[in-house]
Structure 1
Amino acid sequence: MSKKNKKHQEHEEHADESWLLPYSDLMTLLLALFIVLFGMSTVDAQKFQEMSEAFQSVLTGGSGILEQNSMSSNTKNSISENQIPKPSSDGLMKKKSELMRKEQENLESLKKQLDTYIKNNGLTDQLDTKLNQSQLMVTISDNALFPSGEAEVKPNARILAKAISAMLQEFPDYEVIVSGHTDNVPISNHEFPSNWDLSSVRALNFMKILLLNEQLDPKKFSAIGYGEYHPVSSNENNVGRAKNRRVEVSIIRKYQDGDQQIGMPATH
């Protein structure tokens, strides 16, 4: 065999095979195309639309099916939360109205008991009750409770205090404020340097007797001395000054209309 023919055979045995790479890629793409076409033939129009939108999202960077599903889920969650029943304003108002009605009945019942006690014991000129939008107030003249210029409760006044405490124990949920008041005549002795001191100690001493009743909760009680600064009458004459010297027991409403502050007695 000639040298020329030998070279030609070697060239045929080592032919260029680089064309196989694009050919294999083409076959892979065709296979993928047939799979997609097969899948399209077995899904309904809605699935096809979702697939189309998914491809579009990938190619364009727009919102795709995953984001739409997320939005749909959020919408469903929002609807579900809105469907949770919440107390209506009408329901709350109705409940508050019922509580206020019950409270009014309680305080009217307590006032009736106090008024009956006052009448039966001939104390109408020394005790008075008043029910308003903030409280039930029992006003007791100072001469029914204390010797002049003193803060020690009289022995017979202790009976009154115990009678009031027995009535209060039937209504244990109410806050009770005991406040002391004086006239504007200055007092200055070794025990009470001012009317502030006298009114405060009187209120405290009377409250202590109320709390001898173990059925009452001390956390619901407080004592305040107002001195001469909350008069209910003129201090220009003896009658007015006698009215100003007093102790008040205030049973505070829990439910009130308007802007009155719960837990504080009405201004005199």
Structure 2
Amino acid sequence: MKRRRRPASESKGAPRWMVTFSDLITLILVFFILLFSMSQIDIVKFRTIADSFQQRQILEFYPSVIPFDDPSAEPEMESEDSQGKDDQDLNSLLSNIQSYLKENKLSDVIVATRTERGVVLVLQEQALFDSGEATVLEDAYPFLNKVGDLLAGIPNFVKVEGHTDNRPIDTYRFPSNWELSSARASSVIRYLTRTGDLDPTRFIAVGYGDTRPIAPNDTSENLQKNRRVEVIITDPQFVEQ
């Protein structure tokens, strides 16, 4: 007699895959709820900070932990004080140089003025060099020594410019006015730094040749004016374009 097979008992409840799927969906839902709640908190914080900046009286009411209430006031005051001291030093320097020129009757060949660049000394060729040469004359030593003594008391940078007239020069040492003007500017700096024990990094030498005349090159007098060396004791506030 054959035995009857019992039918397989069917499991009660939802399929196993559905349980796993529902757990996954629940976790994803919780994750997005957390993200949403965090984003809402950030927006609230952002709005609070924005409102605090719009209400400037809050910042003005509470004292600052910084020693001075207005952070921009003290540096600006220091800058103005520094500029005032620079002006005072340059004006004092100009006064000393002008007094020296007057006492030694050098005002005809050396002019000292104050411009936006600083204190400018214009030295005519005959006060420093022989014609067509770049070696400083001994007669110029006392004045350059005076300038060196005055420069030792201030930290300003010094620019020395050499200028010539438009007459061409063609020698072994100076093939053109470029070389002559540059050599003359360099000679003045060399003398100041060697005899005055000044820092060479404070100086710059520039040769302009005949490209920056102060008078037309049409008379012997004007040619003489253009043959010059300019010593600029620079104003720290001046920015050259």
Q: Considering the TM-score relative to the shorter chain, is it more than 0.5?
A: yes
Pairing 1:225–2:207 present: yes
Secondary structure, counterpart of 2:233 in structure 1: strand
**Consecutive unaligned residues in structure 1, runs of 5 or more:** 1-56
Please tell me whether the aligned partners of residues 168 and 177 of structure 2 are also in contact (alpha carbons under 8 angstroms).
yes
Residue 124 of structure 1 is matched in structure 2 by 107
Match of 1:253 in 2: 235
Residue of 34, 37, 54 corresponding to 1:64: 37
| Alignment partner, residue 157 of structure 1 | 140
What does 1:101-250 align with in structure 2 at a 5 Å threshold? 101-172=84-155, 174-213=156-195, 215-250=197-232
Q: Offset of 1:243 from its aligned partner?
A: 0.7
Report the 3-state secondary structure (helix = DSSP H, G, I; strand = E; otherwise coil) of the residue aligned with 1:186: coil
Q: CA deviation at 1:69?
A: 8.1
Query: For the Cα contact (< 8 Å) 2:165–2:217, is it kept in 1?
Result: yes
- On the 8 A contact 2:118/2:234 being kept in 1, the answer is yes
Structure 1 segment 67-82 matched on structure 2, within 5 A? 68=41, 72=45
Q: Give the letter aligned to residue 105 of structure 1.
A: Q
Equivalent residues of 1:150, 1:198 under 8 A apart: yes
- The verdict on how the C-alpha distance between 1:156 and 1:214 changes in structure 2, with shifts beyond 3 A counting, is closer
Structure 1 residue 89 displacement after superposition: 4.5
User: Structure 1 residues 136, 71: CA separation in 2 closer, same or farther (over 3 Å shift)?
Assistant: same
Cα RMSD of the aligned pairs, angstroms, is 3.3
* More moved, 247-256 vs 224-233: 247-256
Is the Cα–Cα contact under 8 Å of residues 181 and 227 in structure 1 kept in the other structure? yes
- What is the letter of the counterpart of residue 192 of structure 1? F
CA distance in 2, matches of 1:103, 1:68: 55
Task: Kindly state the Cα deviation for residue 90 of structure 1 after the two structures are TM-superposed.
Answer: 4.7
Does the 8 Å CA contact 1:178/1:248 hold for their aligned counterparts? yes
State the alpha-carbon separation in 1 of the partners of residues 132 and 216 from structure 2: 19
Counterpart Cα distance in 2 of 1:101 and 1:153: 35
Q: Specify which of 93, 97, 110 is matched with residue 80 of structure 2.
A: 97
User: Based on CA coordinates, which of the two structures has the bigger radius of gyration?
Assistant: 1
1:68 shift after superposition: 2.9
Give the secondary-structure state (helix, strand or coil) at the position aligned to 2:194.
coil
1:163-211: per-residue Cα shift (whole Å, max 9, x none)? 1111111112x11011110000111122211111111111111110000
Structure 1 residue 58: deviation in Å? Answer: 4.8
CA distance in 1 between counterparts of 2:196 and 2:190 reads 11
- The CA distance in 2 between the partners of 1:132 and 1:139, in whole Å, is 12
How many residues get paired?
A: 202
- Whole-angstrom CA distance in 2 between matches of 1:118 and 1:206: 18
Report the Cα distance in structure 2 between the residues aligned to 1:137 and 1:218, rounded to whole angstroms.
Answer: 19
1:211 match: secondary structure: helix
- Change over 3 Å in CA distance of 1:146–1:88 after alignment to 2: same
Aligned equivalents of 2:177, 2:32: Cα separation in 1: 87
Report percent identity of matched pairs: 31
Query: Partner amino acid for 2:170?
Result: S
Structure with greater contact order relative to length (CA < 8 Å, sep ≥ 6): 2
